[in-house]
């Protein structure tokens, strides 16, 4: 059995972001700030990362923050559940707020209809268990997104619940973009006002990567994907219209942000004057591609998900059946 002193030490032994945390019955623990050495880091565990400039040069956190001083939006792509990427996101937010407190955190992981719940948590009106349940937090919230939200809470930053509700987007994936015309006015407002499905480099990339069935089904899935992108982009732009002096750091899946497509292009379509910076994760075990417009975050590549083809097929089958009992407005 652990005694209280051992528990407190265990909780904070390996955390690496700059923050002072106190738990009931525990002594305050000062946690070191992100490393600023210009020497490339050794990436040997799933907690390690190295930030790379668009010119393929290793960067320090402070160097990156100097680079993006005039940016309005920083889009941080992720492989969901990757410990090193989530560690970087928290390191970035903590380092950024030390340099400029005029920040806001925007998240794919919370939806517009739950903004009030997120605000209540930040204000200390509800506890974390209530936040997780009432805001439909992702299953990996405690391990991957808690650190980000807690930094925002301690530093009194706004947190944007930027995304579209999953139920509605799932119905779009099932029935097509015309589904939005059936929504009541209140629910329609939880999605972007404008959702563009026009041909684009993004659409071409999505269709090339699709495993959703025939062309019609792929088109419906693309409509769902774009609904996410457009809604997150609109959430960010609307926030900056009200708070033009703020800088927004937004977390989302890699596909939503890389190469200036997805959310980035949707932001600039609405507000061409904004400066948008993109960070995308890459496998540290692979050679860097030629210079990119994105900053890259080198991390260990994800483990192989399937060895046997039949296991992969079974997984895709399960995914395809997950919305069989979905209730959509007729």
Q: How confident is the model at residue 127 (pLDDT cuts 50, 70, 90)?
A: very high
For residues 292 and 148, give the distance between their C-alpha atoms in angstroms, rounded to a whole number.
Answer: 27
pLDDT above 50: residue 323: yes
- Please tell me the predicted confidence (pLDDT) of residue 210: 67
For residues 210 and 103, give the distance between their C-alpha atoms in angstroms, rounded to a whole number.
Answer: 36
pLDDT above 50: residue 5: no
Greater model confidence, 167 or 6: 167
Q: Which of 27-31, 182-186, 317-321 has the lowest mean pLDDT?
A: 27-31
Are residues 248 and 195 part of one domain?
yes
pLDDT above 60: residue 130: yes
- Please tell me the predicted confidence (pLDDT) of residue 99: 94
pLDDT digits (tens, 9 = 90+) for 284-303: 999 998 778 999 999 999 99
Are residues 66 and 1 part of one domain?
no
Greater model confidence, 45 or 319: 45
pLDDT digits (tens, 9 = 90+) for 248-284: 999 999 999 999 999 999 999 999 999 999 999 999 9
Let me know if residue 313 belongs to a domain. Answer: yes
- Please tell me the predicted confidence (pLDDT) of residue 133: 98
Are residues 10 and 131 part of one domain?
no
- Please tell me the predicted confidence (pLDDT) of residue 211: 61
- Please tell me the predicted confidence (pLDDT) of residue 77: 98
pLDDT above 60: residue 233: yes
Greater model confidence, 94 or 23: 94
- Please tell me the predicted confidence (pLDDT) of residue 289: 82
Average pLDDT, the chain: 88
Q: Residue 301: which CATH number?
A: 3.40.50.11550
Average pLDDT, integer, range 161-181: 97
pLDDT above 50: residue 11: no
Are residues 193 and 288 part of one domain?
yes
pLDDT above 50: residue 22: no
Are residues 53 and 25 part of one domain?
no
Are residues 26 and 43 part of one domain?
no
Q: How many domains does the chain have?
A: 2
Cα-atom radius of gyration of the chain, to the nearest Å?
20
Share of the chain above pLDDT 70, in %: 87
Cβ–Cβ < 8 Å for 173, 221: yes
Are residues 28 and 173 part of one domain?
no
Are residues 118 and 41 part of one domain?
yes
Let me know if residue 330 belongs to a domain. Answer: no
Let me know if residue 327 belongs to a domain. Answer: no
pLDDT above 50: residue 175: yes
pLDDT above 60: residue 16: no
Average pLDDT, integer, range 31-60: 79
Give residue 4's domain range.
1-32
pLDDT above 50: residue 186: yes
pLDDT above 60: residue 120: yes
Are residues 5 and 77 part of one domain?
no
pLDDT above 70: residue 21: no
């Amino acid at each position: 059995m652990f005694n209280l002193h051992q528990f407190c030490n265990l909780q904070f032994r390996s955390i690496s972001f700059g923050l002072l945390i106190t738990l009931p019955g525990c002594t305050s623990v000062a946690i070191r700030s992100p490393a600023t050495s210009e020497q490339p880091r050794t990436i040997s565990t799933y907690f390690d990362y190295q930030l790379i400039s668009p010119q393929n040069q290793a960067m320090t956190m402070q160097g990156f923050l100097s680079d993006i001083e005039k940016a309005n939006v920083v889009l941080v792509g992720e492989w969901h559940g990757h410990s090193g990427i989530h560690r970087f996101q928290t390191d970035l937010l903590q380092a950024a707020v030390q340099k400029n407190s005029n920040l806001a955190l925007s998240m794919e992981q919370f939806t517009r209809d739950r903004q009030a719940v997120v605000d209540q948590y930040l204000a200390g009106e509800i506890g974390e268990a209530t936040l997780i349940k009432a805001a439909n937090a992702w299953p990996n919230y405690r391990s991957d997104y808690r650190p980000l939200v807690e930094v925002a809470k301690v530093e009194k930053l706004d947190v944007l619940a930027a995304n579209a509700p999953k139920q509605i987007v799932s119905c779009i994936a099932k029935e097509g973009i015309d589904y939005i015309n059936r929504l009541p006015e209140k629910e329609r407002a939880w999605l972007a006002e404008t959702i563009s499905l026009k041909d684009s480099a993004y659409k071409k990339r999505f269709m090339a990567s699709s495993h959703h069935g025939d062309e019609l089904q792929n088109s419906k899935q693309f409509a769902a994907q774009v609904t996410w992108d457009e809604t997150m982009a609109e959430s960010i732009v609307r926030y900056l219209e009200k708070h033009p002096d703020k800088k927004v750091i937004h977390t989302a899946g890699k596909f939503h942000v890389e190469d200036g497509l997805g959310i980035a292009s949707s932001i600039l379509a609405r507000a061409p004057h904004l400066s948008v910076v993109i960070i995308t994760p890459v496998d540290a075990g692979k050679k860097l591609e030629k210079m990119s417009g994105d900053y890259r975050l080198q991390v260990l590549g994800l483990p192989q998900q399937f060895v046997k083809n039949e296991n992969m097929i079974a997984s895709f089958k399960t995914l395809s059946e997950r919305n069989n009992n979905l209730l959509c407005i007729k």
